[in-house]
Structure 1
Amino acid sequence: MEFTSVTICAICATIRLLGLWAFPSIGNLLDKSVEFSTPVTSYRSLKEALVLGMGSSNTITFNNGYYDGGVVHHPPLLLQALQGIPIAYHDYLFILFDCLILLQFVKLTEQVKRQNKMFINIPTWLPALVYAINPLSLMSCLSKSSVIFTNWCIINAVVQAINGNIPITAMFISLSGYLSLYPILLIFPLINLINLNSSNPQKVNNTIRLILYTIYYCGFLIFISYKINGNNWNFLRANYMVLLNFEIVTPNLGIWWYFFIEMFTEFIPFFKGTFGLFLLSFVIPLAIRFCAQPFCASITILGWLILTKPYPVLGDYGFWFSFLAYFVPIAGYMRYKVFSMLLFIHGIMLSPIFYHLWIGSGSGNSNFFYAVSLVNALAIGTILSDLIWAMLRHEYDGETPNYEIKLAQV
């Protein structure tokens, strides 16, 4: 198994290094692409923050108030962690984190195979290899999108939840929420994942502990950020309110931006609240309904968050697609696999073309690009619908797949 892990990491690192060396300017090109870069994940913003905050002692100084400029949307602790690493080595840092994510995929697969017989026939290397060779993950790494740090925290939280390690689970889910806010909602399926084989009194105790630890870590991260930010709370607005209020209305792969470009000003606050509630509305119901399948529920909820959050990037999709390898045992229940994947491929292929027609050549308009965003949303929505149906059928058939029975899907 160690050889397998080393081999997959070698494949991952080799592909990314070859891409970096063969196309040295591809990182800057991808970072300017709306498919891989948003105001809250852009490496340009991250690099600008590091350069602007570099004091004479070669350390980050947060007293200059650059969070007030509306450009930097990365939390202070991330900037503090990166300030000691020369910018010339950042490419290799992102490759390292990609390899760390791969190692966690291998570890996660080993754990779920021991825990649930449903996954026993999944090759240990499969999800990790899917991530290693996935073009979306590759280009996301080369673009140096900060989403990679969030993804690393998410997969660590899932691994630790399966282990039943409550403090470490809380730490990583708090870190993911600290970096990108919305992953904190994964705490609901992770509660079920930790409590999967626990008695009822133990479930209550575990749930309370996980919530309290998460609150503690979140409070600690926010307080430390406040102190290193020169006792200034302006980072909260720059990093979190910008997500909740969708303050930077800019084209991306999400379903939010077009509405708020076209909408009358007086209706914008109401619909921002509506979109936020829509994002939240399916998280808790899915966690409750599939409490007996918490690992699959975690994957489904992660896909829902990616679909409905205001600033998605293809790096989110590449990470989530690697988790879909765990649904191979019940893939026979899924009826639209080919349709949804072809739909998504068409969407990501047409996206740069339609964006260029709109912004570059001026021969199109915003409807062109938003149509592609809707195609992507339809593809992800179809996959999610298929996954939920497969999970329901798996329960109905007593966890023994029976593809001969035909049931109506309402």
Structure 2
Amino acid sequence: MINGIWLMYLVGAGIRLWLMNTPWAECIAKRVELSTPLNSWKRVEEGVFLHSQDIAVYSGGVFHETPFCLLFGGFLIRRGYPVIFGTLVALVAYQSFYPICLMVPGILFFMQSDSHNLKAALLKPLLSFLVSLGLLMVISAEIAGGWEFLEATYGFILAAPDLTPNIGLFWYFFTEMFEHFRLFFLATFQINAFVYVLPLAIRLRKDPVLLATALLAFTAVFRSYPALGDVGIYLSLLPMWKHLYPFMRQTFIVGCMFVATSVLGPIMYNLWIFSGSANANFYFAVTLAFNTAQIFLVTDLLFAHVKREYHLIHGSKMEVDEVPARLILQ
């Protein structure tokens, strides 16, 4: 019961933090159903500012939260936290290896936020990542009684020896693969999860958050053992790019593909495994369509970003509902 309550609090806090960074945040902050004189985020920002200027926070009638909330709010509001970022990336990379690519958009973000000290913006997250990951490895070796866990964990992720069906692409290809071709295609498949980091980082260097979203999408497609949770992470970030929706052209197709594969996936799996009236080709066809839909989605999002940049520079003649569209910079 206690664990369930803590989980509920953590989920609620995560949703609230996410909403704070969406285009709806300004609208939500003004809604009387959600914002009161006690919990208003604007008042928290005002209280943090007063505290940073050594002004008595509680002497006026603005801030009414507790001192701990004042401290935590200041932590959330103030930006340039590269050490914490590197530590957190080390934790997720330690768990599943692939999120290591998030270091690139993170470093780009800190370099933009702290442009007058690029060396610190580069070294702080990088060093904190390496130190944290090194400590995690040493502690893990002490717990496991040796370094054999490396082959059983990260070696397992990279070699993908277990071909149990999942929503990814590895299992079917390597079931049908001749053994003497396995190493070549294994390296090719694994490289796909990281090969897009450099070109995307060059093109999206001014928008590291979009870069991180795209990398999360590509790793969800090309990792050896993906799950729906990996897909849900980047799908939950899509509302941040609401301003790109008018420029996207494949949303209907992608939506239909997601709905169709979500329905057909469990059906084909049951027909294959339990009923015996289908085979692996049926289920893999659904998973292939599902991953194709993800590729269409992320490429459409990136194309919309590029197209919007073009219109901002060269002007736009696009129409929305047969009415000339206007781009408003805020």
TM-score by length of 2: 0.76
The verdict on how the C-alpha distance between 1:252 and 1:95 changes in structure 2, with shifts beyond 3 A counting, is: farther
| 1:188 correspondence with 2:188 | no
1:72 alignment partner in structure 2: none
The verdict on how the C-alpha distance between 1:249 and 1:161 changes in structure 2, with shifts beyond 3 A counting, is: farther
Pairwise CA distance, 1:251: 0.5
**Residues 75-224 of structure 1 correspond to what in structure 2 (within 5 A)?**
94-109=7-22, 119=23, 123=27, 163-199=79-115, 202-224=117-139
Instruction: Could you tell me which runs of 5 or more consecutive residues in structure 2 were left unpaired when the two chains were aligned.
Output: 30-74, 320-330
Question: How many residue pairs get matched?
Answer: 274
Pairwise CA distance, 1:166: 0.7
For residue 249 of structure 2, the aligned residue among 328, 335, 346 is 335
1:383 alignment partner in structure 2: 297
- Distance in structure 2 (CA, Å) of the matches to 1:91 and 1:339: 38
TM-score by length of 1: 0.62
- Range moving further from structure 2, 284-293 or 160-169: 160-169
1:143 alignment partner in structure 2: none
- Distance in structure 2 (CA, Å) of the matches to 1:96 and 1:160: 17
Instruction: Could you tell me which runs of 5 or more consecutive residues in structure 1 were left unpaired when the two chains were aligned.
Output: 1-87, 110-118, 126-158, 406-410
Q: CA RMSD in A?
A: 2.5
Higher relative contact order (CA 8 A, sep 6+): 1
| 1:305 correspondence with 2:219 | yes
Alpha-carbon contact 1:290-1:297 (below 8 Å) kept = yes
- Distance in structure 1 (CA, Å) of the matches to 2:166 and 2:3: 25
- Distance in structure 2 (CA, Å) of the matches to 1:282 and 1:344: 24
- Distance in structure 1 (CA, Å) of the matches to 2:168 and 2:77: 29
Pairwise CA distance, 1:172: 0.8
User: Counterpart of 1:215 in structure 2: which amino acid?
Assistant: L
Alpha-carbon contact 2:21-2:240 (below 8 Å) kept = no
- Distance in structure 1 (CA, Å) of the matches to 2:277 and 2:77: 51
Pairwise CA distance, 1:397: 2.4
1:255 alignment partner in structure 2: 169
Spell out, residue by residue over 1:273-300, the C-alpha distance to the aligned partner (whole angstroms, 9 max, x if none): 1111121111222122100111111111
For residue 353 of structure 1, the aligned residue among 261, 267, 273 is 267
Pairwise CA distance, 1:186: 0.7
Alpha-carbon contact 1:160-1:168 (below 8 Å) kept = no
When Rg is computed on C-alpha atoms for both structures, the one with the higher figure is 2
Spell out, residue by residue over 1:291-323, the C-alpha distance to the aligned partner (whole angstroms, 9 max, x if none): 011111111111111111111111222222110
Pairwise CA distance, 1:95: 4.2
The verdict on how the C-alpha distance between 1:294 and 1:269 changes in structure 2, with shifts beyond 3 A counting, is: same
- Range moving further from structure 2, 315-324 or 183-192: 315-324
